[in-house]
Structure 1
Amino acid sequence: MTLSKAWQIDRKWKAGGYVSLVQGKCVLTSEAFPGVETEHGFQIDISNSEISDETDDEAILSAVQAFMAPHLEGAEGSHYAELQFRHSVENGTEVDIQVTEQMVIQERQRRLALGFDYDFGDARGVHHIGTTPADLAGWDEVTKFSQAALAISQDPDISIVTDTGPAIVTATEWQSILLAAAAHRQPIFAASFALQASDPIPANFADDTHWP
């Protein structure tokens, strides 16, 4: 199972002369299934790499690839199966895919990492909330701050950066975002659990028809 990877940067955020966040995708193909492709989106925090905001995209991608390597490696089975399925659909051929629970879990993780839209209902508008592993680590810090403040009857402003850009939220508003996140993510978990319990797991498990 060999996958070719083509990396692309769609957006960069800069702070203090350095690149802080990078958003883009990795397009995956295989010689075994010509004419079809799938992609793995990413939005990661590379501020610790201290990459100058004058650095070209090729050098930035090196840092991105190093960070993403273990995530992509864990999801290769899912991406390979998706390519195999898409190729079979486009060419009208039969395909026998031995789908495992781990492949479903990898697809679940991919979908959970895509993020969701949140409408503030005011001038801030709609923001796309990132949910990659790096995002979730940052959100954990915001959540602890929010909970601690509310526990002593305070509701301070908190500075955050979404995939859309910087924003100010109150501690109470952050709790509303967490509830919206749960409403978005729980159906994905439910779909995954249903697929994992299937016998056999359908070959097209990565198709949108099986997911919310």
Structure 2
Amino acid sequence: MNAEKRQQIFARLQAENPHPTTELNYSTPFELLIAVILSAQATDVGVNKATDKLYPVANTPQAIYDLGVEGLKSYIKTIGLFNSKAENVIKTCRILLDQHNGEVPDNRIALEALPGVGRKTANVVLNTAFGHPTIAVDTHIFRVSNRTGLAKGKNVDEVEQKLLRHVPKLYKQDAHHWLILHGRYICIARKPRCGACVIEDLCDFKDKQEI
């Protein structure tokens, strides 16, 4: 795919959704961090249902740490892998309190040192909370990038590096959100909704679907 076509793809995605953002509910970087940790192998809808009950009770590192692992589990038990996630969140809160004055760090190394935080989670926090032009590649973005020809790669790291190289600078800040929403609602896994896609004519996918 050439640079002109990539430019057109993002211009159309921007025109359709000028101010994209995460579908996770949050009001502070800390709330976003915890929501993203909880979202691994879970839906944003499911995470929001849990955090909508948790955050009015505890939405700071100290408050969630004070709940303890068992207390936290009572709020997130509807989310997959809640046992290990509860332990990671409590450990993360302790580190934030001990090493970062209760604040979420604005750098990758410190974020990835937190339990339950990998590169993808760090990218989401850096991009959405702090405005870094990072691109967190999840299953949706991996699929869209390969299927459309936007950035083909055998694994998420390859796709991320290609996207960082090829996404025009003007669109890099919001690229993550456009691609994930496109994959979630239009370029879905089993039967993409090509007939409803604003970039259908720019896409390299051979087996296009009418609906």
Give the number of the structure whose alpha-carbon radius of gyration is greater: 1
Tell whether the structures are fold-level matches, with TM greater than 0.5.
no
TM-score (norm 2): 0.28
Structure (1 or 2) with the greater helix fraction:
2
Structure (1 or 2) with the greater strand fraction:
1
Q: Which structure is higher in RCO with an 8 Å CA cutoff and minimum separation 6?
A: 2
